[in-house]
């Protein structure tokens, strides 16, 4: 089983419900949720004028490969009504794979660890709540 951290964000409609629904969909696909951060409200970073986000991070265990997991998270984004794929644009739900075990990989559609996570307080804050040692390590490995 791989241990994976997923970042969740929503800034359209009932944000908390979208996040709950996304977690429900993951569970329905046999994924175990082993930790869940609290949700924090954050200002949008870049992109068009848009509402504030609700962000959180979950830890899961899965037998899916990174690519299979991306496929699943993208299908959940679609199912929960994510339509506009503008980068940094408003969305009902965004599910980003932050870390997948110790895996480092880049292919045409997936980069792990998520390349921008270290610059994002809206990721680091909830991640440090459920995995403080991982956040510490992130800033000690490639100094
Ligand atoms: P950001 O990735 O900067 O948070 P975003 O989440 O708004 O931006 P999306 O529109 O959700 O970006 O995704 C754009 C593309 O990013 C997706 O089509 C996906 O293939 C790719 N991608 C690359 N690495 C990852 C990752 N670790 N997790 C999720 N998507 C990824
Ligand atoms: Mg994102
Ligand atoms: Mg995304």
How far out from the chain centre does Cα 115 lie?
Answer: 12
Atom of ligand 1 nearest to the CA of 9: 6
Residues 6+ apart with CB under 8 A from 142: none
Among 1-15, 49-63, 70-84, the range scoring the smallest mean pLDDT is 70-84
Q: Whose CA is nearest to atom 12 of ligand 1?
A: 87
- Average pLDDT over the chain, rounded to an integer: 94
Dihedral (Cα; 9, 97, 28, 51), 10-degree rounding: 10
The string of pLDDT tens digits covering residues 74-119 is 999 999 988 766 777 888 999 999 999 999 999 999 999 999 999 9
| Contact criterion met (CB below 8 Å) for 7 and 41 | no
Q: Which of 96, 105, 116, 120 to mutate to test the pocket of ligand 1 (most atoms within 8 A of CB)?
A: 96
C-beta 140 within 6 A of ligand 1: no
Helix, strand, or coil (residue 58): strand
Q: Stretch 56-66: mean pLDDT, rounded?
A: 98
pLDDT in tens, 19-41: 999 999 999 999 999 999 999 99
- Taking CA atoms only, the protein residue closest to ligand 1 atom 31 is 110
Q: What is the pLDDT of residue 142?
A: 56
Please count the other Cβ atoms lying within 10 Å of the Cβ belonging to residue 71.
14
For residue 96, indicate whether it is catalytic.
yes
């Amino acid at each position: 089983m791989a241990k994976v951290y997923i970042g969740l964000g929503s800034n359209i409609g009932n944000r908390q419900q979208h996040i709950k629904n996304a977690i429900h969909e993951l569970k329905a696909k046999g994924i175990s949720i082993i930790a869940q951060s609290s949700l924090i409200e954050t200002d949008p970073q870049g992109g068009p004028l848009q509402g504030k986000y609700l962000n959180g991070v979950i830890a899961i265990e899965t037998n899916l490969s990174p690519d299979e997991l991306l496929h699943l998270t993208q299908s959940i984004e679609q199912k929960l009504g994510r339509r506009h794929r503008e980068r940094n644009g408003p969305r009902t739900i965004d599910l980003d794979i932050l870390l997948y075990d110790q895996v480092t990989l880049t292919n045409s559609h997936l980069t792990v660890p998520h390349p921008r996570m270290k610059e994002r307080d809206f990721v680091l804050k909830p991640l440090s709540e459920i995995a403080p040692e991982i956040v510490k390590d992130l800033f000690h490995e490639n100094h």
